[in-house]
Amino acid sequence: MSLADNPFKVLILRLLREADSTLSEHQLITLLRAHQQSWPCMADEPQLALFQVHFLTMNALYQLQGELWRESIYLQVGPLAIGFVDVFPGDSSGDSFGNRAGEGKVLSSDIAEEKIRAYYLDWGNYEATDSDEVQRLLSSFWSRYMSEDQQSQAYAVLELEPDAAWPQVQKSYRRMASQHHPDRGGNARRFLEVREAYELLSRRQVS
């Protein structure tokens, strides 16, 4: 398994994009469960299952935080406030979703916060719980999430035919990401929708 296999990543991006305000971790996990009612339990032992849900959620959030930071969009990750905020850490200005150039900035200068981020980005900390269960969970999730409807919608967002080849997907994503990027006057929510579609289709390349 690898970080790219995190099954929550695409769905979390969608939920945060659609949210009217920041969410707590509890609210986000409640939404995740509501959108995937057929999820099997992860582990038979309740505390282990709770840990697995929590870890996958935080891992996905920190992956997205780093990726979107490079796109000049700041995703705040905290137990009581998760979502896109108006300014980068330490800044006093910026428009919707924190659309300021992230180059030259750091996500955090707080050592404790960096240790937390590093912990959740280390896939080994999750696999150590039960590697067989990790394999079952990821395979089970993606077999349902990668439905034909989901794929067709993603192709449509990227303005492609459903049978478009991967190089076409990459080319369309680069074009549309540039067109809708907030730093270029685009709409942040539209940019995130494009990014979500690309994340979903890119997952097919490693399935």
Q: Output the tens digit of pLDDT for each of the chain's 207 residues.
A: 455 668 788 889 999 999 988 999 889 999 988 886 555 456 667 777 778 888 889 999 999 999 998 888 889 998 788 998 764 455 444 444 444 444 545 566 567 788 888 989 998 888 777 666 666 666 666 565 566 677 888 999 999 998 899 999 999 999 999 998 887 888 888 888 898 889 888 877 655
Under 8 Å between Cβ of 62 and 117 = yes
Three-state DSSP class for 42? coil
Q: Where are the domains of the chain?
A: 3-145, 146-207
The partner residues of 73 in beta bridges, in order of sequence, read: none
The fold for domain 146-207 equals: Helix Hairpins (1.10.287)
Predicted TM-score (pTM) of the model is 0.68
Three-state DSSP class for 76? strand
Under 8 Å between Cβ of 97 and 186 = no
The whole-angstrom separation of Cα 141 and Cα 156 is 23
